[in-house]
Homo-oligomer: A and B are copies of this chain.
């Protein structure tokens, strides 16, 4: 069936195992947050609720910057959280900005969410302590390598060396 002369460069991608690992750990985290205890709360809301709890009311743009997403994403998410009763919004200093704040409903669960978050972080820290070289250190190692020469430049360089190119 398979022509042995045609090699498959996609056969084993160097970083696919990392992605799989991450996905399965994300699934475990989601399992913790969806353990039917807090009905109607999406795992994707948790970070925003904890941020609002810790830092107090914020505008949509501030919240977006704080979680590293676009204001568009947060505009949509805040609307969904409002519809589900987890936050409410009041007019900010400006008539154009809106302060997002927790409701009683979310204030009643936020301590448990924080405990779950801490447990997750502690579990990650435990794993890091059990392996010979922590993942976080590899990340900074890679960041330093990319400072020397960017990933894009490296790919372009390898491409130029490839005889099948050009």
Contact = CB atoms under 8 A, between A and B. Distances in A.
Interface residues of A, number: 79
B124 A14 contact: yes
A13 B126 contact: no
A110 to B, nearest CB: 9
Contact of A150 (B28, B112, B137, B154): B28
Contacts of A119: 155-156, 158-159, 162, 165
A163 to B, nearest CB: 9
Interface in A116-148: 116-128, 130-143, 145-146, 148
Contacts of A151: 24-25, 28-29, 123, 127
Contacts of A130: 145, 148
A127 B142 contact: yes
Interface in A69-123: 111-112, 114-123
Interface of A: 1-3, 6-11, 13-22, 24-25, 28-29, 31-32, 47, 50-51, 53-56, 68, 111-112, 114-128, 130-143, 145-146, 148, 150-152, 154-159, 162, 164-165
